[in-house]
Structure 1
Amino acid sequence: MSGASLKFGSILSFCVVLYAIFYRKDDLGDMRLSPVKEHLLHLESENKVASGIRQPKVALGYGACHDLFVNATSLLDPEDLKGIPKHFNELTNKEEFIKSFTYFFKHGAAAERFMSNSKLFDQLVEDALKLPDTRWAIGGNAPLMAKRFFLEGWRVLLGAKMSDKLKSYIPNEISIVGGDDVDKDDVHMILEYKTDEQFGAYRSPRANRYIMHNDVNNPLLSSLEKLGESLPKFSPNLLVISGLQMMDNFPFTKDGRDLRAERLNLVREQILSQPLTTLAHFEMASYVDIELLLHLTTKVLPYVDSVGMNEQELSNLNSVLEHGEVIFVADSNPRVATALDQMRNTFNMIRKKNKDFGSKRKLTRIHVHTLAYQAILTVKDSAWRRTKAAAAKASLTAHRYVCDSQNIALGKSKLLLDDSFSTTTDNDNNSRVFFEPTKPVSCWDEVLDGDEVEICVAPVLICTEAQLTAGAGDNISAAGLVLQVEK
């Protein structure tokens, strides 16, 4: 070989090394995606049917609505923002609405707020309907979770009061109970935005949604009694309590009576009416009314087996339980260690509520879903099964729902989970878990409140071309429950 050839070969090799070093980060990210996808799919396929139950049964309450999806930055004008973004517990005028939306938009945080100004709400709906991409869909935690359970092969009983038009969105095989049909469904406006969208001087750090409503039926939990009448005959394996956030800031005092407390007492009685073999799950949401949240800590949380929530709701619930204070916005992409510490703390505090209120049930499961990962904590030897597979299925469901496709497209995926993570903020050096793409779901055992628990963390193949945001949490939570229930 000539000296010139050797020289050329050396230069070429050097360039290849430089290229590899320069692009290592991107290539490494791409290289992780395929094995992560294959292993998650393997875990899901190996655990399709919950053993011991031919067709499990779930009952869900309460309520339903008509969701109006609209592009937030197309509907709203940043010029209408006067002053700085600010949160409000309740919206009474357009200035408060714009300030509130922008406050959560700049944090990329999900939010849900009640607008007491019916005239303004109706006008905003009318304006939204003039936009080309606006669309209608069924909404509400219970109906969206119900549809997911049905798609996974469960028998479903849904407690919701709705019009015949809204019922047409529900598969005929789902049994709906809730009393007489309503003339006008409650409407929720879903203001969606994508990652890096601009609204005036502000940019969204992640895709998310801001929900606004002016509900009349849902705050009353109007389907509660009818659902209760149907429960004995249906005999569900799982009871899901959701939609209680619709009671936020609703005027509930009448003749000196706290009607909200009375309705929540009935929710508690409905849970207590079920045999302990019927597992009870509470789906958290975006709450701002501290009085309502404190009611939940005494009338609902002490009596359920499982709680599901996102990272914002976890921070809020943890703060309410520990300090009696509401957190309006939290980190939209928290470290794994931070979320796990909050999960442990929340678990311990709810378990104390179990004892304080003499509940025959104990909290044995928490599922937290974030943009980057799924974290599920279950008590070992409890009724919950297949925690590892459930975390994998929840992760896959997150991608499928947000991308609005059953196909997991690697070209539309990315991972935010680092190559390793700490399991607690207390001692980062001795609690580190290394992420293996061929074994992406990490599980380990701990002892909490005297019980051995299993904690599993699964990475999410984040959809980079988000089609849907509202309803993602409901589908993810339901998917996580699907594999964990058996007789």
Structure 2
Amino acid sequence: MSATPVKLGSLLSVCFVLYAIYYRKNDIEDLRLSPVKEHLLFLERENEVGTGIRQPKVALGYGACHDLFVNATSLLNHRELKGAPEHFNDISSKQELLKTFSYFFKHGAAAERFMSNSELFDNIVEEALKLPDTRWTIGGNAPLMAKRFHIEGWKVLVGAKMSKNLKAYIPDGIDIVGVDKDEEIKDDIHMILEYKADEKFGIFKSPRANRFIMHNDENNPLLSSLERLGEFLPKFKPNLFVISGLQMMDNFPFKKGGKDLRAERLDLVREQILTQPSNTLAHFEMASYVDLELLTHLTTKVLPYVDSVGMNEQELSNLYSILEYGEVIVVADSNPRVATALDQMRKIFLLIREKNKEFKSSRKLTRIHVHTLAYQAILTVKNSDWKRTQAAAAKAALTAHRYVCNSKNIALDKSKLLLDDSFSTTTDNDNNSRVFFEPTKPVPCWDEILDDDKVEICVAPVLICTEAQLTAGAGDNISAAGLVLQIEK
């Protein structure tokens, strides 16, 4: 289903508005929920992943870790906070942790930070393990995305150094490469400080459920599985190559003796992408970055050479700011207007296309996926290798609910919609095109021209889980789900 944006004042708008009023929520129930759920499920059922000789294959790098989940407000004491919230790029003390956590908590924004103080990190891990509701699981973008691809029916290869203990979290059928024979592995640990919507930390209240991640990694920043993964790629012949986990390099002390080891490792990432055949699509998964030098490297060593980029609303604003102004944005609107997100997606598309030309890349950006609390937005170039954009947006939206609620079922009594009855397609005052949200056909798509290419844009509403069970890893699962239906072997 494609929907061309409608001009305000048209007769069609009157019909849609009357329809929307009928479905508007009352004080008890949003009557839009049931038809939205049914059509999203219909799109998912009608579009399945290939099997047998049509089964797609994905290779993912780099890294893995042990995630330690803990309730943030149980672990941290707001009474110890001295002074106002403030963000630090590298956390070296308890006060810097409290200030940085509260800074992002009050915005409800996801964030990830390197803790350079190893002793403090180990002490906080010990404190967390004393709490009754802490839990261990596998972490890292590559393993979490790999598990989603596997669940959805793909054949999966992951590049990551893991101990035997950590490998036990990986389902049978996923191939893991990265550890040399008889190599002893000490798994990196990531602390996942979770909080719920409306939770309080002293005088601050979070506007949405989210998480703050901190780590003191040794393996992941060095992309230590890169070479081993490269040995297996030619034989595996993936249809999709996913580059992720590069945020572990953020603020890590790389430079030794005047040598920039990080730049060298990223050059190897670029070479690994370049060695893939043209029919292997390359996807880069964004994350929380604050290191300007690293982000600048990404704009020259990674982004010009990929076909697709995936990100959340915070990462969207940050990537746009880096490409357009060379500046880092630490926190952005946690629930941006659709028009704002679409404008940034268009600008990012054009700016990366310029990078494609500047660096004479054999690849051109043909896909962007942005996942927010309220909606999924996917932009693809028409007649490119990316297929079924509407179904992919629906699949991502359903996965958002299922993962956060930690349930395979879509429970309407645990769902809400934040998407309005209509939305502007741009913030441009000279263009008043709007798309009207029709609950029985809730994933509108339309065509535009960008960089002389016809592109398709689809926006799917998320049935937001009101009883969040999981937050960390949601983006990885959603992004992977958005990709699973877009490649046909």
Where 1:147 maps in the other structure, the secondary structure is helix
In structure 1, what is the equivalent of residue 175 of structure 2?
Answer: 175
Using the alignment, how far apart are the partners of 1:182 and 1:105 within structure 2?
37
* 2:389 maps to amino acid: T
* 1:101 maps to amino acid: F
TM superposition shift of 1:256: 1.8
**Is structure 2 residue 373 aligned with structure 1 residue 371?**
yes
Q: Whose Rg is larger? A: 1
In structure 2, what is the equivalent of residue 482 of structure 1?
Answer: 484
1:332 pairs, out of 325, 331, 334, with 334
- Kindly report which structure 2 residues correspond to 1:97-246, keeping only aligned pairs within 5 A, or say none: 97-180=97-180, 181-246=183-248
Using the alignment, how far apart are the partners of 1:28 and 1:42 within structure 2?
26
CA distance 1:417–1:155, shift in 2 (3 Å): same
CA distance 1:428–1:163, shift in 2 (3 Å): farther
Where 2:31 maps in the other structure, the secondary structure is helix
Using the alignment, how far apart are the partners of 2:31 and 2:145 within structure 1?
34
* 1:59 maps to amino acid: A
1:404-454 per-position Cα deviation (integer Å, ceiling 9, x unaligned): 000000000000000000000003862111000000001000000110000
1:261-293 per-position Cα deviation (integer Å, ceiling 9, x unaligned): 000000000000000100000000000000000
Give yes or no for contact 1:442–1:457 (8 Å, CA) kept in 2: yes
CA distance 1:142–1:99, shift in 2 (3 Å): same
* 1:360 maps to amino acid: S
Q: Percent identity?
A: 81
* Runs of 4+ displaced beyond 6 Å: none
1:404 pairs, out of 391, 403, 406, with 406
In structure 2, what is the equivalent of residue 4 of structure 1?
Answer: none
- Alignment root-mean-square deviation, CA: 1.4
1:446 pairs, out of 445, 448, 465, with 448
Using the alignment, how far apart are the partners of 2:483 and 2:157 within structure 1?
16
Of the structure 1 ranges 181-190 and 287-296, higher mean CA displacement relative to structure 2 is found in 181-190
Where 1:285 maps in the other structure, the secondary structure is coil
**TM-score, length-scaled by structure 1:** 0.94
TM superposition shift of 1:51: 8.6
1:41-83 per-position Cα deviation (integer Å, ceiling 9, x unaligned): 0000000124996211000000000000000000010011100
* 1:209 maps to amino acid: R
TM superposition shift of 1:128: 0.3
Using the alignment, how far apart are the partners of 1:174 and 1:470 within structure 2?
21
In structure 2, what is the equivalent of residue 355 of structure 1?
Answer: 357
In structure 2, what is the equivalent of residue 7 of structure 1?
Answer: none
**TM-score, length-scaled by structure 2:** 0.94
Where 2:26 maps in the other structure, the secondary structure is helix
- Kindly report which structure 2 residues correspond to 1:40-55, keeping only aligned pairs within 5 A, or say none: 40-50=40-50, 54-55=54-55
CA distance 1:312–1:53, shift in 2 (3 Å): farther
Gaps of 5+ in 1: 1-20
Of the structure 1 ranges 147-156 and 419-428, higher mean CA displacement relative to structure 2 is found in 419-428
* 1:459 maps to amino acid: P
1:282-324 per-position Cα deviation (integer Å, ceiling 9, x unaligned): 0000000000000000000000000000000000000000000
Give yes or no for contact 1:29–1:414 (8 Å, CA) kept in 2: no
Give yes or no for contact 1:159–1:227 (8 Å, CA) kept in 2: yes
**Is structure 2 residue 66 aligned with structure 1 residue 66?**
yes
Using the alignment, how far apart are the partners of 1:273 and 1:85 within structure 2?
45
Give yes or no for contact 2:51–2:153 (8 Å, CA) kept in 1: no
CA distance 1:416–1:282, shift in 2 (3 Å): same
CA distance 1:130–1:53, shift in 2 (3 Å): same
2:304 pairs, out of 296, 302, 305, with 302
Where 1:170 maps in the other structure, the secondary structure is coil
Where 1:31 maps in the other structure, the secondary structure is coil
CA distance 1:171–1:428, shift in 2 (3 Å): farther
* 1:433 maps to amino acid: V
